[in-house]
Amino acid sequence: MNTIMFAAYFAAALGLASAHLCLIGPHQRGTMTGLNKKGSDDCILLKGPCGGRPSSTPLAILMSGKNTTVTFQKNLDHWVKASPGYFAVAIMQESKQRIMDYKEIARVPDMGEPSLTLYSVTGMVPSRISGTAVLQVTYVTNNPDAPPVFYQCADVAIN
């Protein structure tokens, strides 16, 4: 394999192994180290519903039946013109890692914006959910050369 082909292969493999979705507000589980760098190691979560990160004490309070704003970052672009993906924001309650109630509150199409683009969306917190809950953002890539879904979660309290 010549040097140019090897470099191209390595760059492609590195791109697939890098981070792709960061949840900024409310604060994602874990840290936000390297958030403004494409491929941040703290933003790659491929296992649903929350990338295997354990729950923590809720850092945000949402109001039941009211609108809330969620801010997230496309940390690394996976847009494909032939089959564009999307970002989905949902609120769910878990019990022993089993999802009890799941409600998508916003969806944003991936229109090919560059890596590190910030999105702020507003959605209504379902009135049937209260107490401790999880706000989840997913990046559904619809890209055959990338992982199908990236996950980020934030622990929230709903009043």
* Selected residue with higher pLDDT from 18 and 65: 65
Share of the chain above pLDDT 90, in %: 66
Alpha carbon of residue 63 to chain centroid: 21
Distance from the Cα of residue 23 to its chain's centroid: 6
pLDDT above 70: residue 13: no
In which element (H, E) is residue 16 found? Answer: helix 3-17
Give the pLDDT confidence score for residue 33 in this predicted structure.
Answer: 87
Q: Which helix (H) or strand (E) holds 133?
A: strand 131-140
Round to whole Å and give the CA distance between 78 and 15. Answer: 9
Torsion of the alpha carbons at 59, 55, 72 and 82, rounded to the nearest 10: -160
Query: Which residues on adjacent β-strands are paired with residue 104?
Result: 90
Domains, in order of start, for the chain: 19-158 (2.70.50.50)
pLDDT by residue (tens digit) across 95-145?
665 667 889 999 999 999 999 999 999 999 999 888 999 999 999 999 999
